[in-house]
Structure 1
Amino acid sequence: MATTTTYGNWTTVVDRFSAGFEHGITEALGDHGGDFDIAAIAADYHQAINEALPPGVTLNGDEFYGPAHAADQQFAGYPHNEHGELDIKAIIDSIDFWAIVAKHDPDA
């Protein structure tokens, strides 16, 4: 079994202006947030994120975890930042958050 390590928190990796994963969702929805099932959106978005991340990398709560050792990292084909590290933010940005929100639009 591979040893895991933290890859960072939602606020340090994806959105430094939010207070966390679910807070980012309510912020994005703004004044319309009360009309939506935030828990359902969060569950679907969380699932989409984990499906988009490389094998062994997960979002657990507000924390990203993944393989600690390079030999266990299967990151070929995934974006990397200027430091050669897995670019989790780019992966998250590739997910259509608003399509997920639209699935839960009470007016649709």
Structure 2
Amino acid sequence: MSNTTTTCEYGSWTSLSQTFTATVEDWIAQQLPDPTDVEEVDVPAIARTVRAEINWGLPEGVSLEGDVVYGPAEGEAFDAFTASDFRVALDEIDVATIIIRHTETTVTIAHIRGILDSPAQDPVLYVDHAGRLKIGPAAGANHHQVVLDREQVRDFFDGAALSEISAEDLEDLVTDAQSRVEEITAE
């Protein structure tokens, strides 16, 4: 005799979240401080964390899988689950903190722009004592924590203006910088 529980669909992200978005990923994109960062942020990783946090707040046996909420087809969870249970679980998560956790050590094109546009003398991108990426004057950064400085960025692009640089070249620099961040944070 099988001891499996039959599950059924309790509702979709769209119907239960009341966020007016089709997917968890769409909702996260709306929550980003700068919507243009959606191409530079690991939205799927953030979505996995958001789903896990929502699932933690849902009644036992009920879970958000992809963009659909499933649960037992009968029993206590089936009888008791309401759309407000999902909304409470969603409201309990701190999506801003989740986004920060996933992005504070992710180098983006915005960081490259920030180094080039910074009014600071000798600006650098560095990992601060809390493990976050910051842009500031070289004099204020521990040299072991520096990821990139303005001269390195200019040299990488042979002095070309940011608007003249191909997306592929930008990606190469971001990838190199991200490798340096990973080295620093692993120390």
TM-score (norm 2): 0.47
The change in CA–CA distance for 1:75 and 1:102 in structure 2 (over 3 A counts) is farther
Which has the larger displacement, 26-35 or 39-48? 26-35
Q: Which runs of 5+ in 2 are unaligned?
A: 106-131, 133-187
The change in CA–CA distance for 1:24 and 1:36 in structure 2 (over 3 A counts) is same
Let me know the Cα RMSD of the aligned residues.
2.4
Higher helix proportion: 2
Q: Which has the higher contact order (CA 8 A, sep 6+)?
A: 1
Q: Is the 8 A contact 1:56 1:67 kept in 2?
A: yes
After superposition, what is the alpha-carbon deviation per residue over 1:12-42, rounded to whole angstroms, capped at 9, x for unaligned? 1103521211111112222332342212211
Equivalent in the alignment of 2:21:
18
**What fraction of aligned residue pairs are identical, expressed as a percent?**
34
Runs of 4+ in 1 over 6 A off after TM superposition: none
The change in CA–CA distance for 1:20 and 1:4 in structure 2 (over 3 A counts) is same
Q: Which runs of 5+ in 1 are unaligned?
A: none
Aligned length: 100
The change in CA–CA distance for 1:102 and 1:61 in structure 2 (over 3 A counts) is same
Equivalent in the alignment of 1:55:
60
Equivalent in the alignment of 2:45:
40
Which has the larger Rg? 2
